[in-house]
Amino acid sequence: MNEKFIEKGLLSITLCLFFIIALIIVFLAYESIPAFHHFGLIKILSDIHWIPDLNLFGIFPMILSSLLVSFLALIIAVPLSLTTAIYIEELSSIRIKKLFKPIIQTLAGIPSVVYGFFGLTVLIPLIRDYVGGDGFSILAASIVLAIMILPTIITLSQDAIRNVPFEYKQASFALGSTHFQAISKIILPAALPGILTGIILGLGRAVGETLAVLMVIGNVNQIPSSVLDSARTLTSNIALEMCYAMDIHYHMLFVNGVVLFVIIVILMALTICIQHKWGC
Amino acid sequence: MDLVKKIFFTLSGIITVAILLVIVSYILINGLPFIDFEFIFSNPVDSGRSGGIFPMIISSLYLLVLTALIAVPIGVGSAIYMTQYCKSNAFVNFIRFCSQILSAIPSIIYGLFGFTFLIMFLKLDWSLFAASVVLAIMSVPTIFQVSEISINSVPGELVEASLGLGANKSQTITSVILPSAISGIFTGIILALTRAISEAAAVMYVVGSTFTVPLSIFDAGRPLPLHLYILASEGVSLDNAYATASILIIMVLIITVFSNYCLNRYQNKIEGL
């Protein structure tokens, strides 16, 4: 009797996870439907002007900026994190390997607002003085995001590299390959699914980051024409306007949220596809 | 040629470390001079232009404890159910999928959800309680995933031995499985809670924003990261922003060092037995 009670109790706790997701989806949908109803999906996605006072709510520039900033962050972060992961797992001594663990943890633990603050006080003056523009730019945001997603990609790539069966490496050595040949021809290809998962998760984090980006990107709502332009992402738009949005404007911010949610779900589906295809 | 490659890879490792060192030391060098006893234990004056950050530290501590109280039972409980009781593979995969989605949802969406569900729908006041509900929802998937992995890696022989000695299932869980998995579960909890108290975007629309010391969990508060965000983005006070950022970094450093130390000690103890 007691055992049954415990089992039922634990089951209901587990179902919480599902109910939370369901609640989030229901409330996002419920609050965004008036806006979809009012403007229609096509107009919302294609209109390039977001001027709440004139009842213009197009989110295309924000989608574009969000994706642009995140991909740029990946371009900066992926080479560095991959080579770092290879260094830690394959080339460093055990002592250095042990040293890296808390370093990566700290990098992951520093609050995103602190990264944003660092970008605001260091990167922006640097960009203004040495690259051009007024500093508040897509470039600054991508650098901040790149630093933030480093630990995610490094940790997952490390796991993937570590999980390559040792026999593969032995076989490669037995056939006469050097250590670096083994890394590039055997270990990296075998670890690719895990590394890709790490990169996609990093991308998801970059798309979803709010305040760190908001602090350095300038938040001018426009279609950016260069990386030195200011822009506004989906996330920062919500954070900036939520405090005073009314009526249809308020509902439009939930449309922002829905679009973000859809992007994240697509990225999730991609990782699941990767895991299924390679069977891991 | 291999030497060049080795130098190249080593260099990228050094760059990663250098990035961390530059950020941490830059913030600390600029912030530490402003941190003294008074800064930590006094209220902000003139909306944060001067004075201290005592109410923000208290708010963050409230959030840390409350979030743990809500998230740990749900995270660990569901991990126990999934690994020990659940017999349906489809259900396991489904719940795992739910938790993956939960951990991928951006924090600002949790903020939106918290605002419309807790504040507008349930009519809760802006409070530390509402904020910790949002943070707990964000923390559950991490705690759940890490606990599931560490419970699954408890050797089957231990469980069989316990059952063979006549212990029933719940006794086995509490006296065999959980103690052997505790170091992993602990890591997951620390990881999740570090993220929870570093979060500003998810709580900015549910926590309110006051300068007074919160007395109960139903008072409004202003956690440290949110305070830093407001100080920096509204240009209130750069010096106080550096000092607040330093406090946050010191907090993360302490948590990381302390949890690693505990884990090492615990693992040594287990291996020593």
User: What is the ipTM score, two decimals?
Assistant: 0.91
How close B212 gets to chain A, by Cα (Å)? Answer: 21
Q: How many CA atoms lie within 13 A of A29 on its CB side?
A: 6
- The candidate with the shortest Cα–Cα distance to A32, out of B111, B113, B203, is B113
Spell out the domains of chain B, with CATH numbers in brackets.
Answer: 35-272 (1.10.3720.10)
- Chain A contact set for B74 (CB, 8 A): 13, 16-17
Contact B106 A210 (CB under 8 A): yes
H-helix segments, chain B: 2-31, 37-41, 54-80, 89-104, 107-114, 128-152, 156-164, 169-172, 178-198, 224-233, 238-272
For the four alpha carbons of B224, B230, B235 and B236, in that order, the dihedral sign comes to negative
Mutate to test the interface with A, among B1, B5, B11, B16 (most CBs of A within 10 A): B16
Q: How many CA atoms lie within 13 A of A223 on its CB side?
A: 9
Contact A147 B19 (CB under 8 A): yes
**Long-range CB contact pairs, A244-250, < 8 A, 24+:** A245/A52, A248/A34, A248/A35, A248/A38, A248/A55, A248/A57, A249/A52, A249/A57, A250/A31
A4-33, pLDDT tens digit by residue?
A: 888 899 999 999 999 999 999 999 999 999
Among residues 39-58 of chain B, which lie with CB inside 8 Å of chain A? none
Confidence of residue B272 (pLDDT cuts 50, 70, 90): low
Portion of chain B with pLDDT greater than 90, in percent:
55
Of A109, A114, A208, the CB nearest to B27: A114
C-beta of residue B244 within 8 angstroms of C-beta of residue B53: yes
CA of B143: which chain A residue's CA is closest?
A17
Among residues 212-251 of chain A, which lie with CB inside 8 Å of chain B? 214-215, 235, 238-239, 242-243
Confidence of residue B270 (pLDDT cuts 50, 70, 90): low
| Crossing angle of helices A60-86 and A138-162, rounded to 10° | 40
How close B53 gets to chain A, by Cα (Å)? Answer: 16
Contact B23 A264 (CB under 8 A): no
Q: Is A178 left (phi over 0), alpha (psi -120 to 50) or beta?
A: beta
B15-65, pLDDT tens digit by residue?
A: 999 999 999 999 999 999 989 888 888 888 887 788 889 999 999 999 999
pLDDT of residue A1: 55
Spell out the domains of chain A, with CATH numbers in brackets.
Answer: 50-277 (1.10.3720.10)
pLDDT of residue B51: 84
d(CA A173, CA A170): 5
Could you tell me the CA-to-CA distances from A2 to A70, B76, B83, B261 in Å, in that order?
A: 51, 20, 19, 38
**Long-range CB contact pairs, A180-184, < 8 A, 24+:** A180/B2, A180/B5, A183/A86, A183/A90
How close B84 gets to chain A, by Cα (Å)? Answer: 9
CA of B12: which chain A residue's CA is closest?
A84
pLDDT of residue B183: 84
How close A106 gets to chain B, by Cα (Å)? Answer: 7
Query: Does position B246 have pLDDT exceeding 80, yes or no?
Result: yes
Question: Across chain A, what does the average pLDDT equal?
Answer: 91
- The candidate with the shortest Cα–Cα distance to A89, out of A188, A228, A7, is A188
**Spatial CB neighbours of B119, under 8 Å, sequence gap ≥ 6:** B125, B126, B130, B205, B206
> A125 at the B interface (CB within 8 A)?
no
> A88 at the B interface (CB within 8 A)?
yes
Q: How crowded is residue B43: how many other Cβ atoms within 10 Å of its Cβ?
A: 13
In sequence order, what DSSP letters do the residues of A180-196 get, joined into one string?
Answer: HHHIIIIIHHHHHHHHH
> A112 at the B interface (CB within 8 A)?
yes
Mean pLDDT of A44-61: 86
> B206 at the A interface (CB within 8 A)?
no
pLDDT of residue A204: 93
| Chain A with chain B: Cβ pairs closer than 8 A | 233
Could you tell me the CA-to-CA distances from B126 to A23, B133, B138 in Å, in that order?
A: 20, 12, 18
B144-189, pLDDT tens digit by residue?
A: 999 999 999 888 888 899 999 988 888 899 889 998 888 889 888 9
Among residues 258-277 of chain A, which lie with CB inside 8 Å of chain B? 260-261, 264-265, 267-268, 272
B82-129, pLDDT tens digit by residue?
A: 998 988 889 999 999 999 899 999 999 999 999 999 999 999 889 999
d(CA B105, CA A1): 39
> A100 at the B interface (CB within 8 A)?
yes
How close A123 gets to chain B, by Cα (Å)? Answer: 11
**Spatial CB neighbours of A268, under 8 Å, sequence gap ≥ 6:** A204, B100, B101, B104
Query: Does position B271 have pLDDT exceeding 80, yes or no?
Result: no
Structure tokens that stand for A191 in this block: 């670890």
**Spatial CB neighbours of A14, under 8 Å, sequence gap ≥ 6:** B77, B78, B81, B82, B86, B95
The values of phi and psi at residue B167, to 5°, are -75, 145
The 8-class DSSP code of residue B118 comes to I
**Spatial CB neighbours of B184, under 8 Å, sequence gap ≥ 6:** B146, B147, B149, B150, B151, B153
Among residues 151-190 of chain B, which lie with CB inside 8 Å of chain A? 168-170
Query: Residue B170 burial (CB < 10 Å; 0-12/13-18/19+)?
Result: middle
Of A20, A116, A201, the CB nearest to B137: A20
Structure tokens that stand for A38 in this block: 């009012």
Query: Does position A65 have pLDDT exceeding 90, yes or no?
Result: yes
Of A30, A106, A215, the CB nearest to B20: A106
pLDDT of residue A130: 92
C-beta of residue B64 within 8 angstroms of C-beta of residue B192: no
> A207 at the B interface (CB within 8 A)?
yes
